[in-house]
């Protein structure tokens, strides 16, 4: 149980800190400029395209991970219910029982691995889009929903951030 707690803590730490460290000075590495305001129009468009692609990739990986967790849990529960039949009967096929448990556990594991990859990618893309829009004054009316992870008073909060921006 202690190993699972440590693994969970490390996963939350990874998902929380990666987007913040990966977003710093990205324009310097990607385009070789010291200030985001020094980007040309083509570079800005390229940066926005890449950031939007990151957001899409992050959403896809996250929702695939959630789907794997849901289907793996269903498969695992179905196999477990076969074993806990009436009067303690054994399952009709031990092979289907074991494969259901292992398949369910594998799907849950893959989903649990996909989510910590998808959420930071999603957040990094949103942060870069926000940086470009702030620097170049692209104020468009929009409603955006993105994942949010924050630490407050030694507690981790995972949720969704809803941003409403109105043009001037």
The string of pLDDT tens digits covering residues 76-85 is: 888 877 766 5
pLDDT in tens, 95-128: 677 788 888 899 999 999 998 889 888 888 888 8
Contact 140, 165 (CB under 8 A): yes
CB atoms within 10 A of CB 126: 24
Domain extents in the chain:
2-138
With both helix axes pointing from N to C terminus, report the angle between 94-136 and 2-22 in degrees, rounded to the nearest 10.
30
By residue count, the chain amounts to: 168
Q: Is the pLDDT of residue 20 over 60?
A: no
Range of weakest confidence among 9-18, 24-33, 54-63, 103-112: 9-18
Range of weakest confidence among 12-26, 33-47, 131-145: 12-26
- Give helix then strand counts, H and E, for the chain: 4, 2
Helix/strand/coil percentages in the chain, nearest 5: 70, 15, 15
- CA-based nearest residue to 58, from 12, 140, 120, 132: 120
Give me the residues paired with residue 145 across strands.
Answer: 162
Q: Is the pLDDT of residue 33 over 70?
A: yes
Distance between CA atoms of residues 44 and 136, nearest Å: 9
Q: How far is CA 33 from CA 38, 41, 79, 152, 163, in A?
A: 6, 13, 57, 34, 29
Distance between CA atoms of residues 19 and 15, nearest Å: 7
> What tokens does 72 get?
């793996």
């Amino acid at each position: 149980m202690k190993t699972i707690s440590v693994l969970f803590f490390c996963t939350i730490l990874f998902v929380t800190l990666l987007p913040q460290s990966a977003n710093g000075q990205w324009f310097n590495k990607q385009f070789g400029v010291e200030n985001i305001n020094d980007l040309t129009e083509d570079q800005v468009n390229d940066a926005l395209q890449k950031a939007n692609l990151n957001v899409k990739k992050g959403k896809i990986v996250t929702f695939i991970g959630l789907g794997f967790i849901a289907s793996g849990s269903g498969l695992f529960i179905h196999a477990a219910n076969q074993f806990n039949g009436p009067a303690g009967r054994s399952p009709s096929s031990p092979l289907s029982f074991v494969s259901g448990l292992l398949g369910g556990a594998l799907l849950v594991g893959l989903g649990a691995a996909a989510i910590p990859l998808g959420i930071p990618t999603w957040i990094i893309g949103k942060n870069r889009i926000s940086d470009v829009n702030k620097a170049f004054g692209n104020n468009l009316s929009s409603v955006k929903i993105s994942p949010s992870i924050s630490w407050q008073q030694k507690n981790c909060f995972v949720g969704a951030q809803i941003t409403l921006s109105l043009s001037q």
